[in-house]
């Protein structure tokens, strides 16, 4: 991105030309890929022209002024359709921008469109989108992952240089891993969630996806910071893109949790991550075997909490003030019919499960119990960081699976086996490409750190990219 920024700064290329290039890629690839729900080429070109004018007048808004971006379609964009991949919001145009969108606009980034996801971010493959599945750019018979599958696939295919996703249990990292790009789930609270459609407010975070760690860090620097509109945003912390020297690796203590290298892990994934770990050790890092035994409960805890919070978050879709409404003679029937027609099967399933665990007779046994187990998980993770600087695991148990392969909901939920822990404990986690399997499918390494340690995660991720010589997995043309 630095190169692109330099070309813009020295007027060797215009923002309009860049946006035209990506719009061309989108037109060429979308018929098979389906990474976007909405593309707004006209508006992106208008924004690009405005950017070129600012550059001509020597008053760019930032170094990145004029470089376009794509936004996951559960993040509000004023006047631009935000469907959450749901029929319920098929024609919904937000009246305001999410704070992260304002930040990008304030830096001069043209917004090219909105990317596909599982409906309301509930899923791990985009197969639950009301607008069709997003195919994996590396193998069209396979999923791109989810829920931020559109954001990951668009970047991997070269339809856009970077994008925003959201991550509640792995929704940035898992598709990043499946598509061979970099994705960060930031520390809970470091990025504003104002204007981001809530799935599970105690777990949701917005984060960057890009082809390189440096680009992901650059994008994160535009997102991180406090927001008076989000009471859960962390007070007065600023993120600065780190320097990229490799000295820090000497003596860096890397925790390797045995529980993440056991049953359910595909041997080729294990091999790739172990190879990466070996290379880091050769460069001077110290590998320390650790135990995160509470990960055994992570998926069950996550499921209980995410369904409970989702059933509550989605109570607002009643067909009164926006969204689709079914015809009925009284309001209660109107609510129930509108919701029945507007929501897809996975959303209904989670609302049902969530309503069950929150209902008076089951609250204590399920919801409250899960909240307490969450405390044990968090303690387990924070205890580990007393011993080690970072923890490295595979991002996912397998490479991208085939479209239609996961038959039961529980099978699908297991995609989050290695990622949910970071959301439950609020820590940041970065997925970086770490090679490919024998079929040429990208594999990902997950680097987790203590709260607000993004800088270290990026430095390590960058080191993995450059020094260890593990190539990224983007397949698209790069400008």
Cα–Cα nearest to 197, from 102, 72, 327, 296? 72
**The pair of three-digit structure tokens given for residue 93, joined into one six-digit string:** 């145009």
Determine the angle formed by the axes of helices 298-313 and 345-358, rounding to 10 degrees. 100
CA atoms of 336 and 414, how far apart (whole Å): 31
CA atoms of 402 and 233, how far apart (whole Å): 38
Among 39, 203, 224, 447, binds another protein (CB under 8 A): 203
**The pair of three-digit structure tokens given for residue 95, joined into one six-digit string:** 């009246």
DSSP H or E segment with residue 372: helix 369-387
Is residue 365 close enough to count as binding another protein by CB under 8 A?
A: yes
User: Shortest distance, CB of residue 138 to another protein, whole angstroms?
Assistant: 32
CB 35 within 8 A of CB 157: yes
Query: Using the 8-state DSSP alphabet, how is residue 38 labeled?
Result: E
CB 408 within 8 A of CB 462: no
Cβ distance to another protein smaller for residue 266 or 349: 349
CA atoms of 118 and 126, how far apart (whole Å): 4
Handedness of CA 188, 192, 197, 198 (dihedral sign): positive
User: Shortest distance, CB of residue 353 to another protein, whole angstroms?
Assistant: 5
3-state secondary structure of 402: strand
Cβ distance to another protein smaller for residue 110 or 189: 189
Binding mask 369-408 for another protein (x = CB under 8 A): xxxxxxxx-xx-----------------------------
Cα–Cα nearest to 255, from 223, 287, 218? 287
Task: Tell which positions 70-129 bind another protein, by CB under 8 A.
Answer: 92-93, 95-96
DSSP H or E segment with residue 72: strand 69-72
CA atoms of 450 and 427, how far apart (whole Å): 6
Binding mask 269-308 for another protein (x = CB under 8 A): ----------------------------x-xxx-xx--x-
**In this structure, what is the dihedral angle of CA atoms 156, 158, 163, 169, given to the nearest 10 degrees?**
-10
Cβ distance to another protein smaller for residue 79 or 132: 79
Whether residue 171 lies in the annotated active site: yes
Q: Which of 14, 16, 72, 425 is catalytic?
A: 72
Please name every residue paired with 72 in a beta bridge, in sequence order, or none if there are none.
115
User: Shortest distance, CB of residue 174 to another protein, whole angstroms?
Assistant: 19
Among 339, 406, 459, 462, binds another protein (CB under 8 A): 339
Is residue 220 close enough to count as binding another protein by CB under 8 A?
A: no
Among 22, 162, 366, 385, binds another protein (CB under 8 A): 366
Is residue 325 close enough to count as binding another protein by CB under 8 A?
A: yes
Task: Tell which positions 165-194 bind another protein, by CB under 8 A.
Answer: 187-189
Cβ distance to another protein smaller for residue 339 or 436: 339
CB 83 within 8 A of CB 71: no
Among 352, 387, 469, 478, binds another protein (CB under 8 A): 352
Cβ distance to another protein smaller for residue 86 or 425: 425
Cβ distance to another protein smaller for residue 145 or 344: 344
Q: Give the pairing type, strands 69-72 and 111-115.
A: parallel
Among 244, 248, 261, 322, binds another protein (CB under 8 A): 322
Interface region with another protein, contact rule CB under 8 A, candidates 28-36, 165-173, 208-216, 350-358: 350-358
Is residue 355 close enough to count as binding another protein by CB under 8 A?
A: yes
User: Shortest distance, CB of residue 304 to another protein, whole angstroms?
Assistant: 6
CA atoms of 301 and 294, how far apart (whole Å): 10
The phi, psi pair for 182, rounded to 5°, reads: -95, 135
Q: Which residues are CB-contacts of 260 (< 8 A; sequence separation ≥ 6)? A: 292, 295, 393, 394, 418
Cβ distance to another protein smaller for residue 215 or 227: 227
Q: Which of 148, 163, 171, 177 is catalytic?
A: 171
Is residue 329 close enough to count as binding another protein by CB under 8 A?
A: yes
Is residue 349 close enough to count as binding another protein by CB under 8 A?
A: yes
CA atoms of 384 and 122, how far apart (whole Å): 30
Whether residue 185 lies in the annotated active site: no
Q: Which of 147, 148, 177, 453 is catalytic?
A: 147
Task: Tell which positions 420-439 bind another protein, by CB under 8 A.
Answer: 423-427
Whether residue 406 lies in the annotated active site: no
Interface region with another protein, contact rule CB under 8 A, candidates 7-15, 17-25, 153-161, 355-363: 355-363
Q: Give the count of residues interacting with another protein (CB under 8 A).
A: 77
Q: Which residues are catalytic?
A: 72, 147, 171
């Amino acid at each position: 991105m630095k190169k692109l920024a330099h070309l813009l700064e020295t007027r060797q290329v215009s923002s309009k030309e860049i946006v035209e290039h990506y719009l061309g890629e989108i037109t060429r690839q979308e018929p098979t890929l389906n990474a976007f729900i909405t593309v707004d080429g006209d508006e992106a070109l208008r924004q690009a022209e405005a950017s070129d004018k600012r550059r001509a007048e020597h008053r760019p808004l930032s170094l990145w002024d004029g470089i376009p971006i794509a936004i996951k379609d559960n993040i509000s964009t004023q006047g631009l359709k935000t469907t959450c991949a749901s029929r319920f919001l098929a024609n919904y145009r937000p009246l305001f921008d999410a704070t992260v969108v304002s930040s990008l606009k304030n830096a001069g980034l043209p917004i090219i469109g909105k990317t596909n996801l599982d409906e309301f971010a509930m899923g791990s493959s985009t197969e639950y989108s009301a607008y069709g599945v997003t195919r994996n750019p590396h193998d069209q018979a396979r999923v791109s992952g989810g829920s931020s599958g559109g954001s990951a696939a668009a970047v991997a295919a070269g339809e856009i240089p970077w994008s925003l996703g959201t991550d509640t249990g792995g929704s940035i990292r898992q598709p990043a891993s499946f598509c061979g790009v970099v994705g960060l789930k930031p520390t809970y609270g470091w990025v504003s969630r104002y204007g981001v459609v809530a799935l599970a407010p105690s777990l949701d975070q917005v984060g960057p996806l890009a082809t390189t760690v440096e680009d992901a860090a650059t994008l994160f620097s535009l997102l991180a910071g406090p927001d008076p509109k989000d009471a859960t945003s962390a007070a007065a912390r600023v993120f600065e893109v780190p320097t990229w020297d490799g000295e820090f690796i000497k003596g860096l203590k890397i925790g390797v949790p045995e529980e993440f290298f056991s049953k359910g892990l595909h041997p080729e994934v294990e091999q790739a991550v172990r190879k990466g770990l070996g290379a880091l050790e050769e460069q001077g890092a110290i590998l320390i075997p650790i135990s995160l035994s509470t990960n055994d409960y992570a998926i069950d805890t996550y499921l209980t909490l995410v369904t409970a919070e989702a059933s509550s978050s989605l109570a607002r879709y009643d067909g009164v003030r926006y969204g689709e409404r079914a015809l009925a003679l009284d309001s209660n029937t109107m609510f129930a019919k509108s919701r029945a027609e507007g929501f897809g099967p996975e959303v209904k399933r989670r609302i049902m499960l969530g309503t069950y665990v929150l209902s008076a007779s089951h609250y204590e046994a399920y919801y409250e119990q899960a909240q307490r187990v969450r405390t044990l998980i968090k303690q387990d993770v924070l205890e580990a960081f007393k011993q080690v600087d970072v923890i490295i695991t595979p991002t996912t148990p397998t490479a991208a699976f085939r479209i239609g392969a996961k038959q039961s909901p529980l099978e699908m939920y297991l995609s989050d086996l290695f990622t949910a822990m970071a959301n439950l404990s609020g820590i940041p986690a970065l997925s970086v490409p770490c090679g490919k399997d024998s079929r040429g499918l990208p594999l990902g390494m997950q680097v987790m750190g203590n709260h607000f340690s993004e800088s270290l995660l990026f430095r390590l991720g960058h080191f993995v990219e450059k020094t260890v010589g593990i190539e990224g997995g983007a397949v698209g043309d790069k400008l």
